[in-house]
Amino acid sequence: MTLKTIITSAVVASVTLTTIHAEDLKGRGASFPGPVYKAWTSDYYKATKNQVNYTPTGSGDGIKSIKKRMVDFSGSDKPLKPEALKKDKLFMFPSVVGSIVLSYNLEGIKDGELKLSREAIAGIFSGKITKWNDQAIAKQNAGLKLPNEDITVAVRADKSGTTFNFTYFLNKIDETIKVSKKPKWLASKVVAGKSNSGVSANIKQIKNSIGYIEYSYKMKLNLPAAQVENKEGKYINPTLKSFQDAAKYATWTPDNDFYAVIGDPAGATSYPIVAATFILLPEEKMETNKAVTKFIDWAYTNGDAAATELGYVPLPKETKEQIRNYWDAKKIK
């Protein structure tokens, strides 16, 4: 074999290797969409042999990672305002809608039996209500045997988009509770866990606890969740139908990179704690961005069934088309 042949073979091998790995993408961030992203990336690989790796580290880490260009894309449940996107040279668009449930560990009280008013929820997480048999909880649950025990509040240890959206809901009830990715909780007994899986594990292990988690984690671990009073005064169980009813009230526009917080929507049948989750991309990585949008476009076309099965609400067709047009305008499709 001549030197020329060896060099030519090496170049061909290099090009082939580059082609194989051209769409091996790395993302990290929000744990809220972790289960659906896991399903989408797995199905995408089976369909295309293109590998997408997503690590659910929390929205705070996702935003930090994309700002530092440590990953190809990131996930965040906290939408960034247009001025923040402009400052850090980022694009943003939603991927799916999910919900936050209030899961509990109370002996003898089954899934959906506990009713929590807006007053009771704000009281528990602000520390004003410390016992399970407090009148604010008991008056809506006359048929239940609520223990005379301290409430352990399970929260996130990390900066979290789930926390951002949950405190957004709490702030609608009690303005003294500030909207934050990592607030200072004032409840007397607090246990913190990293990511939705960490909070879920704490609820499952600790008696007389309550915490906020994404719906699919509740389903995966078979945890009970409360009926929650919506802004119309109706007590709503977390179900796919009630999430879909809530998601109808989301308003999107590509003019502000789809910035929207959709928690506590109107509607008598709407579940009140819903949230969109977003993809963040760096403006300058055009070719990598095209690989990411190719994956998301595949998920928009083929991933609705997997999302629905896990308890998420797929974006409406109209929104998906708006996003595809946004990609075209930004030249990332």
Residues, the chain: 333
With a pLDDT cut of 90, the percent of the chain lying above it is 90
Q: Give yes or no for residue 118 having a pLDDT over 90.
A: yes
- In three-state secondary structure terms, 2 is coil
- Other beta carbons within 10 angstroms of residue 240's beta carbon come to 16
CB 31 within 8 A of CB 162: yes
CB 227 within 8 A of CB 61: no
Average pLDDT of the residues in 17-27: 61
Average pLDDT of the residues in 130-140: 97
Q: Does 100-247 match 24-98+249-261+275-330 at the fold level?
A: yes
CATH of domain 100-247: 3.40.190.10
CATH topology of domain 24-98+249-261+275-330: D-Maltodextrin-Binding Protein; domain 2 (3.40.190)
With a pLDDT cut of 70, the percent of the chain lying above it is 93
Band of the pLDDT at 251, cuts 50, 70, 90?
A: confident
Mean pLDDT across the chain: 92
Q: What are the boundaries of each domain within the chain?
A: 24-98+249-261+275-330, 100-247
Q: Give yes or no for residue 274 having a pLDDT over 90.
A: yes
Q: Considering Cα of 207, then 211, then 215, then 220, what sign does the dihedral take?
A: negative
Which pLDDT value is given to residue 77?
Answer: 94
Listed as own residue / partner, the contacts of 218-225 with beta carbons closer than 8 Å and 24 or more positions apart are 218/101, 218/103, 219/310, 219/311, 220/35, 223/103, 223/105, 223/111, 224/103, 224/104, 224/105, 224/106, 224/109, 224/110, 224/111, 224/112, 224/113, 224/114, 225/101, 225/102, 225/103, 225/104, 225/111, 225/112
What secondary structure letter does DSSP report for 238? -
Band of the pLDDT at 5, cuts 50, 70, 90?
A: very low
Q: At what angle do helices 195-205 and 34-48 cross, to 10 degrees?
A: 130
User: What pLDDT digit, counting tens, does each position of 177-206 carry?
Assistant: 999 999 999 999 999 999 999 999 999 999
